Structure 1
Amino acid sequence: MLRRLSANDPRFRHVDFSAGLNLLVANTTDGSGDKDSRNGTGKSSMVELLHFLLGARADKRSLPTRKALRKIAFSLELDWPSTDGGLLTVTRNGAHPDVVRLSQDVDADEPGHESLFDIDVAGPVDIPAARWTKLIETELFGLHGEHPGLSGRTMLSFLIRRISSHAFNTPTRTYSQQSEADAATNLAYLLGLDWKLAGGYREISAREATRRQLRQAVNDPVWGRIVGSTAELRGQITIAEEDARRLEEQIKAFRVVPQYEELKRRADEIDHGIRALNSQDSIDQRNLTDLHTAVRDTTDGDVRYLEPVYRELGILLGDQVKQRFDDVKDFHKSIIRNRQRYLAEEVEAIENRLTDRATQRERLGAELQQVLRTLNEGGALEALTALQQALAQKQASVEALRHRYEAAQTLEASALEIKAKRLALQRSLKDDLDERATQTSEATVLFSEFAQRLYGSGRQAYLEFDAGPSSLRIVPHVDSDDSRGISNMVIFCFDLAMAVVAHRHGRGPDFLVHDSHLFDGVDDRQLRDALELAAEVTGREGMQYIASLNSDDLEKAERRGYDASGKTLPVRLDDEFDDGGLFGFRF
């Protein structure tokens, strides 16, 4: 329950709440003129402050962020489930709306923050406002984990309706532009229905909206080329995925080789050395061939033909001359032997060099093979990084193609397909409503009971639950005319039934708050009966009902026999210019 609304400004008129019915009354003073109004006394401001302290988003138009109020720290004291019946005080100001201060740490997962408020509260902890809204969802509405489509703030807007959001226009919406699917999803949770099925309409509506936008863009040729067709994109995705798969396999098989660059240089050196040896072999092979030819052509000189020639010429050679020829012949043979020996030595030297180089080439070849095997099995870290970058780019390309494919699919999806999904969802929701007759009956019986208390047992009143074409339909019916006052009392009965059902089953808090605008145009008797009903139901259910009320409306109910003793709050607002309002000053 809500216990106290206060501020660190002494002019603020703090409001203390209790269990059951709480009436914040705005009076008119004896000096009030025809132009005086109680619209500025602070009744709706109380509702705005409650929302602000319960995590509402704050912008420049929010009440607490106005120049006259932004430095004031407002506080709300309330019962908090995780404190075992203890109280928790939340404080927030318009100067730092993104941070709230809690009087104690009820969020062990979130560290405390530096103080931003000039207050003296034992054991305070500052947390982000977004985290505070999550705590509200968990502790007050029992929401854990992911719950797309559900919002604690939306459900609080049903329990604390705001006139600034036009929340009193219809029972099943909290602001005029709220989608039916969004509102129905949150109402389904509060009433114990399958909120996930109700939330399915949100997905269909989003898809339908996207399809409409894409259909509008289909005539743009540039846009058409960007998106493409599903047939083209399907093939492109297949090829891109295969390329990505190959890169992944390369990376998985890749082994980083230490000193990769040194090994590459060594391989180049070995290759250069082998090429040099082959070049030297070519030269020696040519030289060896020339040497073999020279050896073959080197023979002894034959001079035996000289003596017959001289004899035919009639010249007889003496013994001395013959001796000279023999000496020359022996000398020539000596030269031939020396040449043959030299040539043989040269041939042997070349053959030895060829053999040595063959051995050296074989050794270098084995080393080169080992180095190349090592390089082929792995690579440098830079190469691995390049492969990983290429894979990342390819994966991004695949993802982009998939997005284009989804867009093309959405564009090409026919209205019949969306209609089929909508029909399937409607069938599932109808079946679920049949299975949850207990939950729908509980809410319907309460609503009917409350409406008949206001308008008599002869008045037909019920809740209609149906799987509509665009959302779960929850429609309150009261057999009556369409007057503003009766419409407002339909909202009153619906809100009270919803709050009771949610509280009974641990899906909502134990308070309900209504602004005085709800009672505009309400008949005296219905106002009296509504206040008595609220007191009776909250007393029976262990809940709290807070309502602001103009003094003249309260007087109308009292003339009808209503006893307001013990129900009105001690603080009374009036239209005194200086200090009659909730804030204690005008701004």
Structure 2
Amino acid sequence: MLRRLSADDRRFKTAAFTAGMNLIVADRTQSSSDTDSRNSAGKSSLVELIHFLLGARVTKTSLTSKKALREITFSLEMTWPDAGPLQVWRTGSRPNVVHIEPDVSGGDDRQHSMFDFGGPAELGVEDWNRLIERDLFHLREDHPGVSGRTMLSFLARRASSHGFNEATRTFARQAEADATTNLAYLLGLDWQLANGYRELAARKATRTQLRKAVNDPVWGRIVGTTADLRGQITLAQAQVDRLQAQIADFQVVPEYERVKEQADDVARQIKQLAQNDVIDRDNLEELQQAITEASDVDTGYLRPVYEELGVVLSDQVRRRFDEVQTFHHSVVRNRRRFLDAEIAELTDRLEGRRAERARLGEEQSRLLRILNDGGALEALTALQQALAREQATLEALRHRYDAAQTLEASARQITAQRLQLQQAVTTDLDERAEQTAEATLLFSQYAQRLYGQGREAYLAIEAGPNSLQIRPHIHSDDSRGISSMVIFCFDLTLAVLAHRHGRGPDFLIHDSHLFDGVDDRQLAAALKLAADVTREEDLQYIATFNSDDLDKATRRGFDPAPYVRQPHLTDRLNDGGLFGLRF
């Protein structure tokens, strides 16, 4: 139950609430002209402040973001389940922080008592919202699709969010599946099945976006088709398998770099030997050519020539000639001996190099086998890095393949799942006939209190194709304000059932906008109904009213005096409103 709404600004008019029905009235002063309005008196602002203190998200256009209010600290005192009085503070200048006293943020399994709680605590807004869900709505585990903030928006509708446009939505563009999941929880239906519609809608939306992406020439290439991606995945997998096999067979060779240097040195020696062989073979050819040219000169023809010419050679000349010939023979023999020695030396060197090449070749083969069978640690690291890159590529391709599969999924598959879900929800509603009957009868009872026993009124609850469908209906005779009274009866039904079965808090709040255009008789009946129900169900009902609307109910026999609470708001220009200032 809410008890007190206040602020640290002395101009602010503190609002005090009690159990049962509470009416906050905005009056017209005697000095008001026909053009003066009570739209700035603060009736809707009171509801906005309660939402602000109960964890509403703050935007640039929020009430507490306005310059005149940003530094004001607002406070709400309320009765917390199993803890007694609790006070919460929040300011627009630090919208992400909430202060509470006492600290009720203990574990879920804690046995609450008045002595279990500590002093003040500072919480983040998300943590505060989780506490609200835990203690006001009794949500303990994960609850996708169900939000304490959304359910509070049904129990305290806001005009700024167009919350009075439709009974089953709290803002104009709220998805039906989102709204009905939260309504299912408040009504005691299977909210998890209802949430299945929301998840299916999200899947369909993803598929629609991906379909649009494929039609885009750039994004189409990024996503790709399953056929193309299947082939790319096959190649990428083969590359990953090859690298994994290499790594599995890889052996790290100790002193790999030293062995590699030895192999390089042997290769250089073999190359140098080959170069030396080329030089020596050229020299050998030249020596072999020279030895064929080193032969004795034939001089046998000289003596007959001289005799034919009639020249008689003396013995001294013949002896001298013989000596020259003997010397020449000696020179030729010495040259041949020298050439033979050089040829033998070159031949020995060539043979020695051949043997050395054979030995070096065996050594080179041994070193290369070592290098081929293993590698350095750096090489293994490089292989592992390459494998990581290929695995990342493969994983990216698989993600793209999943996206492409989602894109190319048959619409019939989604339709089939929707039909299965619809059947499951229908079966669940049959099994929960007691809950649906309780809600329908309660709504009908409230509507007939407003419009008489003969008025047809019911809740239509069924499994639709796209969401759980909840439709409150009151047969209309075109009377003004019928849609507002549908919302009034529906909200009262939600609040009673949620509180009665431990699924929600004990308060319901309505802004004066709900009662615009409502007939006098229905307005009086609605206030009488709210007073009776809150007393019978131990609930709190807070409503803001313009005084002239309240006068209509008074003329129809309703006495508002016992329910009017402070502050008394007016349309006085400077200080008549809730904040005591104009901004």
TM class, shorter-length: 0.7 to 0.9
Whether the 8 Å contact between 2:145 and 2:182 is mirrored in structure 1 is yes
Once the 2 structures are TM-superposed, how far is the Cα of residue 11 of structure 1 from its aligned partner? 0.5
Mapped partners of 2:351, 2:368: distance in 1: 25
Once the 2 structures are TM-superposed, how far is the Cα of residue 583 of structure 1 from its aligned partner? 0.7
Closer, same or farther: CA 364–520 of 1 in aligned 2, 3 Å: same
SS in structure 2 opposite 1:141? coil
In the alignment, structure 1 residue 123 sits paired with structure 2 residue 120: yes
Letter in 2 for 1:465: I
Mapped partners of 2:54, 2:46: distance in 1: 12
Mapped partners of 1:406, 1:528: distance in 2: 56
Whether the 8 Å contact between 1:258 and 1:380 is mirrored in structure 2 is no
Residue of structure 2 in register with 1:177 after alignment: 173
Once the 2 structures are TM-superposed, how far is the Cα of residue 473 of structure 1 from its aligned partner? 1.4
Match runs of 1:424-443 below 5 Å: 424-443=420-439
Mapped partners of 2:230, 2:572: distance in 1: 76
Mapped partners of 2:227, 2:213: distance in 1: 24
Mapped partners of 1:123, 1:257: distance in 2: 67
Residue of structure 2 in register with 1:71 after alignment: 71
Whether the 8 Å contact between 2:12 and 2:580 is mirrored in structure 1 is yes
Closer, same or farther: CA 270–514 of 1 in aligned 2, 3 Å: farther
Once the 2 structures are TM-superposed, how far is the Cα of residue 200 of structure 1 from its aligned partner? 3.6
Letter in 1 for 2:122: V
In the alignment, structure 1 residue 497 sits paired with structure 2 residue 489: no
Identical-pair percentage: 49
Once the 2 structures are TM-superposed, how far is the Cα of residue 464 of structure 1 from its aligned partner? 0.8
Once the 2 structures are TM-superposed, how far is the Cα of residue 161 of structure 1 from its aligned partner? 0.6
Mapped partners of 1:149, 1:263: distance in 2: 67
Mapped partners of 1:339, 1:235: distance in 2: 80
Residue of structure 2 in register with 1:84 after alignment: 83
CA offsets 1:494-548 (integer angstroms, 9 cap, x no match): 1111122223444322221111222334445544443343344334444322112
Deviates more, 1:533-542 or 1:469-478: 533-542
Once the 2 structures are TM-superposed, how far is the Cα of residue 46 of structure 1 from its aligned partner? 0.4
Mapped partners of 1:88, 1:186: distance in 2: 27
Mapped partners of 1:494, 1:203: distance in 2: 26
Mapped partners of 2:140, 2:279: distance in 1: 87
Residue-pair matches, total: 562
Mapped partners of 1:439, 1:289: distance in 2: 116
Residue of structure 2 in register with 1:17 after alignment: 17
Mapped partners of 1:257, 1:484: distance in 2: 93
In the alignment, structure 1 residue 235 sits paired with structure 2 residue 227: yes
Match runs of 1:191-270 below 5 Å: 191-205=187-201, 223=216, 227=220, 233-249=225-241, 252=244, 254=247, 267-270=263-266
Mapped partners of 2:253, 2:563: distance in 1: 84
SS in structure 2 opposite 1:170? coil
Closer, same or farther: CA 13–281 of 1 in aligned 2, 3 Å: same
Residue of structure 1 in register with 2:98 after alignment: 100
SS in structure 1 opposite 2:569? coil
Once the 2 structures are TM-superposed, how far is the Cα of residue 346 of structure 1 from its aligned partner? 6.7
Residue of structure 2 in register with 1:313 after alignment: none
Mapped partners of 1:406, 1:450: distance in 2: 47
Mapped partners of 1:229, 1:8: distance in 2: 57
CA offsets 1:449-507 (integer angstroms, 9 cap, x no match): 32233334443332111122332211112344232333322212211111222234443
SS in structure 1 opposite 2:3? strand
Whether the 8 Å contact between 1:257 and 1:378 is mirrored in structure 2 is no
Match runs of 1:336-485 below 5 Å: 351-375=351-375, 379=379, 381-382=381-382, 384-393=384-393, 395-400=395-400, 402-404=402-404, 406-407=406-407, 409=408, 413=410, 418-485=414-481
SS in structure 2 opposite 1:176? coil
CA offsets 1:285-344 (integer angstroms, 9 cap, x no match): 9999999x99x99xxx9xxxxxxxxxxxxxxxxxxxxxx999x99999999999988877
CA offsets 1:374-407 (integer angstroms, 9 cap, x no match): 2399716456435534543454355345535543
Closer, same or farther: CA 280–99 of 1 in aligned 2, 3 Å: farther
Residue of structure 1 in register with 2:314 after alignment: none
Mapped partners of 2:439, 2:266: distance in 1: 90
In the alignment, structure 1 residue 573 sits paired with structure 2 residue 566: no
Residue of structure 1 in register with 2:110 after alignment: none
Mapped partners of 2:269, 2:106: distance in 1: 72
Whether the 8 Å contact between 1:229 and 1:405 is mirrored in structure 2 is no
Residue of structure 2 in register with 1:311 after alignment: none
Residue of structure 2 in register with 1:158 after alignment: 154
Once the 2 structures are TM-superposed, how far is the Cα of residue 244 of structure 1 from its aligned partner? 3.0
Residue of structure 2 in register with 1:50 after alignment: 50
Mapped partners of 1:124, 1:489: distance in 2: 41
Gaps of 5+ in 1: 110-120, 302-323
Closer, same or farther: CA 349–39 of 1 in aligned 2, 3 Å: closer
Deviates more, 1:488-497 or 1:234-243: 234-243
Mapped partners of 1:360, 1:258: distance in 2: 22
Deviates more, 1:374-383 or 1:333-342: 333-342
SS in structure 2 opposite 1:576? coil
Letter in 1 for 2:10: P
Letter in 1 for 2:88: T
Match runs of 1:25-36 below 5 Å: 25-36=25-36
Deviates more, 1:10-19 or 1:376-385: 376-385
SS in structure 2 opposite 1:67? coil
SS in structure 1 opposite 2:423? helix
Residue of structure 2 in register with 1:487 after alignment: 483
Mapped partners of 1:352, 1:212: distance in 2: 82
Closer, same or farther: CA 384–16 of 1 in aligned 2, 3 Å: same
Letter in 1 for 2:220: V
Mapped partners of 2:361, 2:101: distance in 1: 86
- The TM-score, its normalising length taken from structure 1, stands at 0.77
Gaps of 5+ in 2: 108-117, 297-322
Whether the 8 Å contact between 2:243 and 2:383 is mirrored in structure 1 is no
Letter in 2 for 1:125: E
Closer, same or farther: CA 261–156 of 1 in aligned 2, 3 Å: farther
Letter in 1 for 2:65: T
Closer, same or farther: CA 14–440 of 1 in aligned 2, 3 Å: same
Mapped partners of 1:145, 1:246: distance in 2: 44
Mapped partners of 2:454, 2:420: distance in 1: 39
Mapped partners of 1:216, 1:367: distance in 2: 61
Mapped partners of 2:218, 2:30: distance in 1: 76
SS in structure 2 opposite 1:157? helix
Whether the 8 Å contact between 2:3 and 2:79 is mirrored in structure 1 is yes
Mapped partners of 2:260, 2:170: distance in 1: 73
Whether the 8 Å contact between 2:29 and 2:572 is mirrored in structure 1 is yes
Mapped partners of 1:259, 1:15: distance in 2: 85
Closer, same or farther: CA 512–248 of 1 in aligned 2, 3 Å: farther
